[in-house]
Amino acid sequence: MTLTLKKYSVLPGFGLSLGYTIFYLSLIVLIPLSTIFFKTATLSWERFWEVVTDPRVIASYQLTFGASLAAALINAVFGLLVAWVLVRYSFPGKRIFDALVDLPFALPTAVAGIALTTLYAPNGWLGQYLDPLGIKVAFTPLGIMIALTFIGFPFVVRTVQPVLQDLEVEVEEAAACLGANRWQTFTRVIFPNLFPPLLTGFTLAFARALGEYGSVVFISGNMPFKTEITSLLIITKLEQYDYAGATAIALVMLVVSFSLIFVINLIQRWSIQRYAK
């Protein structure tokens, strides 16, 4: 007689867990997003194409995606550096600096925008020294990039930091004993383990920047064709009661953003499988 023992699990069974997951995602994510498609469907194809390809809208796309990509790349480089310092070194005030990393999470984005504008305006604390040098930050695409870098910075640090903590220093010492220099140790021993979480942090920072509004609306100056982001343009359409036009622009942002994030996730999965071999 063979006894079959049922596998014990703290969580409910697969069917109940899956049903709750689908219900929760539908209620919180899918149903709200579906309204964008339904509202946009009230437009004819000609009207939809006219709205999403308007020169002013195209300029906002270019600025939003360009600034978001640049900010995410900056965060990937310097976020990795900050995570390395916080994990590998001990220094006075380390816990304070570690807590400051999460400040963009807790700070209201509008407050961040006002603070950055105060700093970088031509008469601001930093802007008054940059302006005579011909460096204009506030009310320029550079200011937008700085604001997006600020709000996306914690994502990279917090995704890379736990992996760095799990990496054993003995592995680096073994590589050095085998004759590897610092660059070879980093590129062949350390970076393969850091690349997947670094790519995750980059994706999160990039996605966060694409939909940012509060921290950008003050420092951008909101000049059409120059410093007008797509989020602001959507708000402008809503204030003009052009709900279908606003959802049409939002639909383009949704589709393009999802496609980019999907491709990045494929690259991340490929990198994990490659380095695991």
> In this model, does residue 90 exceed pLDDT 60?
yes
Helix and strand counts by DSSP (H, E) for the chain: 15, 0
Q: Which residue has the tokens 């010492």?
A: 173
pTM for the structure as a whole: 0.85
> In this model, does residue 2 exceed pLDDT 70?
no
Name the amino acid, one letter, at 253: M
For the chain, the residue count is 277
Exposure pattern of 225-262 as b/e (b: 16+ CB <10 Å)? eebbbbbbbbebbeeeeeebbbbbbbbbbbeebeebee
For residue 185, give both structure tokens. Answer: 């140790």
pLDDT tens track for 146-188: 999 999 999 999 999 998 888 877 777 787 787 778 788 887 8
Helices (H), 107-140: 109-120, 127-130
Mean pLDDT of the chain: 86
**Confidence band, pLDDT 50/70/90 cuts, at residue 110:** confident
* Contact predicate 210/249, CB 8 Å: no
> In this model, does residue 142 exceed pLDDT 80?
yes
Q: Which of 229, 277, 264, 263 is nearest to 249 (CA)?
A: 229
- Who's near 203: CB < 8 A, 6+ residues apart? 72, 261, 264, 265, 268
**Confidence band, pLDDT 50/70/90 cuts, at residue 80:** very high
pLDDT tens track for 203-226: 889 988 988 888 898 888 888 889
Q: Domain 63-227, what fold?
A: MetI-like fold (1.10.3720)
